[in-house]
């Protein structure tokens, strides 16, 4: 647990104030006040929360970050809880494209929890985002505060995306609040039998939308008009080391995954996860039978 260096740099927004989020005013048991560092989400923009398992897989981590990147590049605000795993990757995806993201804490806004997320915490503020909490400044990360903050995450959102979740997890608490609040839930399907897929697969069985592409969410938010996907300028400089390496191995000619592994010299699992990220971000497309090519 780390106290931030400038813990006096916050304000209190009370219910009824002009800048109190309108989406929160509409939920049951809306917080009476919010302690805020940085900014609150822009009420004129769409907001999506990305939540999921703390002990996520590499696949889930890559997926959450890629979803956040694409949403952010389409001017959709990303919100989560700064927890380990999926939450953190959602924030990082927005930060990597220098867009605002917002974190709802289960402790005082002067405390970074978990402590190893201090860099993410500061970068959220650097890129025009915000840190907020219902509890007072100085409140430690007590367990019972975290389920309560989940209603704020869903309350601020137009859509909740659950990436990976066990049968009983905090992200499912967020989805329960979202259902009560009349919010839309998208769940990422996973392999049958995987413990981290049980929660999301059960959400789909119960009626959540299946997320097969970020376009599903953009369309639901009304950001795809007449079937046309908004064009996002591709910036290769934003790719991380693995993405850039694999992107450079590809061309307009298709390559099989085995050829990509041989050229990039990364493990198969790393190549597949990286290709998924590149595909979600529009840099790569799959043709058939594990063949990939670059999208110019």
Q: Supply the pLDDT for residue 251.
A: 87
Task: Output the CA angle 155-158-161, nearest 5 degrees.
Answer: 95
Mean pLDDT over 253-273 rounds to: 92
Task: Decide which of 230 and 276 is more confident.
Answer: 276
Give the burial class of 210: count Cβ atoms within 10 A of its Cβ; 0-12 exposed, 13-18 middle, 19 or more buried: middle
Nearest to 196 by CA among 277, 86, 110, 120: 86
User: How crowded is residue 268: how many other Cβ atoms within 10 Å of its Cβ?
Assistant: 11
Task: Decide which of 132 and 290 is more confident.
Answer: 132
Mean pLDDT over 79-101 rounds to: 95
Same fold, 2-220 and 236-294: no
Nearest to 65 by CA among 47, 46, 89, 87: 89
Mean pLDDT over 165-169 rounds to: 83
Q: What angle, rounded to 10 degrees, do the helices at 268-280 and 241-249 form? A: 90
Give the chain's end-to-end CA distance (angstroms, integer): 45
- Rounded to the nearest integer, the mean pLDDT of the chain is 90
Q: Where are the domains of the chain?
A: 2-220, 236-294
Topology adopted by domain 236-294? Arc Repressor Mutant, subunit A (1.10.10)
User: How crowded is residue 263: how many other Cβ atoms within 10 Å of its Cβ?
Assistant: 15
Q: Supply the pLDDT for residue 14.
A: 97
Rounded to whole angstroms, the Cα distance separating 48 from 79 reads 6
- The residues, any chain, with a CB within 8 Å of residue 161's CB and separated by 6 or more, are 48, 49, 50, 51, 67, 185, 186, 187, 188, 211, 217
Q: Above 70 in pLDDT, residue 38? A: yes
pTM: 0.83
Confidence of residue 232 (pLDDT cuts 50, 70, 90): low
Topology adopted by domain 2-220? Rossmann fold (3.40.50)
Question: Contact, 127 vs 27, CB < 8 A?
Answer: no
**SS3 of 103, please?**
strand
Q: Supply the pLDDT for residue 288.
A: 77
- The residues, any chain, with a CB within 8 Å of residue 154's CB and separated by 6 or more, are 49, 160, 174, 175, 177, 178, 181, 183
Percent of the chain exceeding pLDDT 70 equals 94
Rounded to whole angstroms, the Cα distance separating 138 from 230 reads 43
Tokens 């795809």, located at residue: 224
Q: What is the pLDDT of residues 118-135, one digit of tens each?
A: 999 999 999 999 999 999
Q: Supply the pLDDT for residue 125.
A: 96
């Amino acid at each position: 647990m780390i106290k931030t260096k400038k813990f006096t740099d916050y304000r209190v927004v009370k219910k009824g104030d002009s800048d109190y989020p309108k989406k929160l005013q509409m939920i049951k048991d809306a917080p009476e006040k919010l302690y805020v560092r940085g900014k609150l989400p822009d009420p004129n923009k769409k907001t999506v929360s990305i939540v999921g398992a703390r002990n996520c897989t590499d696949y889930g981590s890559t997926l959450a970050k890629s979803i956040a990147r694409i949403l952010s590049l389409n001017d959709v605000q990303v919100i989560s809880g700064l927890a380990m795993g999926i939450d953190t990757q959602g924030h990082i995806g927005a930060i990597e494209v220098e867009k605002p993201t917002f974190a709802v804490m289960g402790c005082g806004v002067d405390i970074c929890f978990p402590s190893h997320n201090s860099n993410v915490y500061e970068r959220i503020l650097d890129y025009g985002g915000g840190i907020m909490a219902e509890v007072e400044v100085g409140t430690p990360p007590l367990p019972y505060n975290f389920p309560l903050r989940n209603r704020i995450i869903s309350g601020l959102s137009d859509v909740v995306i659950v990436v990976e979740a066990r049968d009983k997890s905090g992200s499912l608490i967020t989805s329960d609040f979202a259902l009560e609040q009349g919010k839309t839930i998208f769940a990422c399907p996973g392999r049958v039998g995987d413990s981290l897929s049980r929660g999301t697969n059960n959400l789909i069985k119960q009626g959540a939308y299946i997320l097969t592409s970020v376009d599903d969410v953009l369309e639901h938010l009304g950001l795809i008009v007449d079937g046309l996907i908004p064009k996002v300028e591709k910036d290769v400089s934003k790719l991380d080391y693995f993405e850039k390496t694999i992107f450079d191995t590809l061309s307009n000619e298709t390559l099989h995954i085995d050829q990509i592994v041989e050229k990039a010299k990364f493990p198969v699992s790393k190549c597949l996860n990286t290709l998924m990220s590149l595909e979600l971000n529009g840099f790569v497309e799959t043709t058939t039978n594990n063949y990939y090519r670059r999208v110019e």
